[in-house]
Structure 1
Amino acid sequence: MWTIPNIITIFRVLLIPVFVVVYFLDWRWAQELGAFIFWLAAITDWFDGYLARKLKQSSAFGAFLDPVADKLIVAAALLMVTHTYASVWITVPAIVLLMREIYVSALREWMGQNGSSATVKVSFIGKSKTMAQMLALIGLLSGLEYFMGFPIYWVTLGKILLYFSAVLSLWSMVAYTRAAWKDLSKS
């Protein structure tokens, strides 16, 4: 259980309350620091998977905890940006993303119980959605449009990527459902 990849994943889970508390502190750079902590968690997601393969330290515990850690920190970030921006234009794609995560997680669980988990394995569309979603959340959490007087438009890019990830999210949800349809329609 105490492999390097699993320790990194546990670290990511432990970052969640730190991320939330820091983001809402009454400091000048609290949101930017919160966005950095979220970025750090997103990077550790890549590292733990890479190290698990490279070091041959894949485990059942890691296979369980890694997607749970991802869903927890993304759900927290989505709730935080809906609170921060208090706009239907942010809330609707955030809800689409949350609904897709719950749906696909349940679908994968059900397919796994029926011995067909390979049918709904992570696809390129799903990975693309995750990348766009993470970048969107970093931009939205940071609140930055200017840095040291220079325009960087992270919030604007974050909004665009949030919608892009919502579209990819729906697309991947339909693709996973179509792949699983034969098993779903048996019952």
Structure 2
Amino acid sequence: MTWNVPNILTVLRMLAAPGVPLIYLFCDGEMAALAALILFVAAAVTDWFDGYLARKWDQQSRFGAMLDPIADKAMVVLALMVLVGASDLNGWLLFPATLILLRETFVAGLREFLGADAQLLQVTKLAKWKTTAQMVSIALLFLGLALDGGFFWSLGLILIWIAGALTLISGADYLRKSMSFLAGPK
């Protein structure tokens, strides 16, 4: 493994992911939501910077390519878990969050099953838009909780439904791309 700035940013994002639920151990209410928002946004920004810097400085690595999507999924899954709990299991959040968790688990399992053939499931533009929609909606939902609901919470709910739809579409795309490997002989 190569320790370079892009990989360090990815590792820091991975370590920040459990920080969001950890915040709720020590804070509650609007203060917890604000602290979670700050940590989540800071970690989300590293998602853009690590890829940009890796390409700009020609420091792309197998380690970074492996850990980057895991860090993204850890951030999204843990933040959604916290948001669903903090919203008292709001069904308008719970349903798209469930779809997102289902797709992320499905694609991870699909990649595991495909093994060496998993390179056919390279990250697509649609998947990048999906991740962006997830992260922006989660930030808006934390902001809505910090401000006790209102406009940002409603906007976050609308965007999480859009993110849920993009999540399903990108999951179906990955399934379509892997069908020849799934239908073939064992």
Residue in structure 2 matched with residue 94 of structure 1 by the alignment? 97
Structure 2 residue 86 is matched with structure 1 residue 110: no
The 3 A distance-change label for structure 1 pair 82 and 46 is same
Residue in structure 2 matched with residue 47 of structure 1 by the alignment? 49
Amino acid at match of 1:179: K
Matches within 5 A, 1:23-102: 23=24, 25-26=27-28, 28-85=30-87, 86-102=89-105
State the distance in 1 between where 2:165 and 2:177 align.
18
Amino acid at match of 1:62: G
State the distance in 2 between where 1:116 and 1:83 align.
34
Residue in structure 2 matched with residue 176 of structure 1 by the alignment? 174
Give the TM-score, by structure 2 length. 0.88
Tell me, what secondary structure is at the counterpart of 2:117?
coil
The runs of at least 4 consecutive aligned structure 1 residues that moved more than 4 Å come to 144-147
Whether the 8 Å contact between 1:93 and 1:163 is mirrored in structure 2 is yes
Amino acid at match of 1:159: L
The 3 A distance-change label for structure 1 pair 79 and 27 is closer
Structure 2 residue 22 is matched with structure 1 residue 21: yes
Residue in structure 2 matched with residue 127 of structure 1 by the alignment? 128
Whether the 8 Å contact between 1:146 and 1:153 is mirrored in structure 2 is no
State the distance in 2 between where 1:29 and 1:66 align.
29
Question: Structure 1 residue 155: deviation in Å?
Answer: 0.8
State the distance in 2 between where 1:141 and 1:54 align.
32
Please list every run of 5 or more consecutive structure 1 residues that lacks an aligned counterpart in the other structure.
Answer: none
State the distance in 1 between where 2:69 and 2:107 align.
11
Greater helix content: 2
State the distance in 2 between where 1:141 and 1:123 align.
27
State the distance in 1 between where 2:81 and 2:182 align.
31
How big is each residue's C-alpha offset from its partner over 1:10-38, in whole Å with a ceiling of 9 and x where there is no partner? 11122223332335514753312211210
Q: Pick the aligned partner of 1:163 from 161, 165, 169.
A: 161
Question: Structure 1 residue 116: deviation in Å?
Answer: 5.1
Please provide the CA RMSD for this pair: 2.2
